[in-house]
Structure 1
Amino acid sequence: MEFTTYFLNEVLRKRPEIQIIWVIETFHFPDFIEIQLDGRIRLWKWIDRTKKYLRVIVLEDGLTIHNAFFDRGFKP
């Protein structure tokens, strides 16, 4: 597992409510998975502490985390 520069420099700074452990858990144990048309992978995991789904975007290589945010519109 790796992280893009965007994730490390922007996502973590702009969204301090997201804990890195939640991102890692979502990467390893997602509740839902979807592959985008561009090949990137969407992963969702329910975070009990926040009562929200966390969406993590992984690059086409399946190893590099690019983005993470709470997905208010996600319906399982």
Structure 2
Amino acid sequence: MAEPERLPPPPFWRTRYFAFDVLPRRPDLDPLEIKRIIARPEARVVQTDGRIRLYGYSETLRCFLRVVLLSDGVTVHNAFPDEQYTS
């Protein structure tokens, strides 16, 4: 499966979908928190399609965030509060 086109930093590598669809709908997402979760996730899960789920606690939102990376391990494709995740 071909991966989506990606945009370079700042703040980090991201898909066009993340930049133009996700962030405008979720203005409460903090790019600095996303960068921190990418650097030091509390959990990391590889999906069957090769994409990578990272989990980390957001002090700003007071919940866990799920950050989904493309299979390259660096490009952010999605990020959202994950009410189902518990550490």
- TM-score, normalised via structure 1 length: 0.93
Structure 1: gaps (5+ residues):
none
Q: How many residues align?
A: 76
2:30 corresponds to 1:19: yes
Q: Which residue of 2 aligns with 1:51?
A: 62
- TM-score, normalised via structure 2 length: 0.82
Which structure is higher in RCO with an 8 Å CA cutoff and minimum separation 6?
1
Q: Which residue of 1 aligns with 2:73?
A: 62
Flag as ranges the 4+ runs of structure 1 deviating above 3 A. Answer: none
Which one-letter code corresponds to 1:42 in the other structure? R
The offset of 1:49, in angstroms, is 2.8
Which one-letter code corresponds to 2:68 in the other structure? I
Q: 2: CA distance between counterparts of 1:3 and 1:49?
A: 21
The offset of 1:75, in angstroms, is 2.0
In the TM superposition, what whole-angstrom CA distance separates every residue of 1:38-60 from its partner, at most 9, and x where no partner exists? Answer: 11000000112322001100000
Structure 2: gaps (5+ residues):
1-11
Larger Rg: 2
The CA RMSD measured in Å over matched residues stands at: 1.0
The offset of 1:6, in angstroms, is 0.4
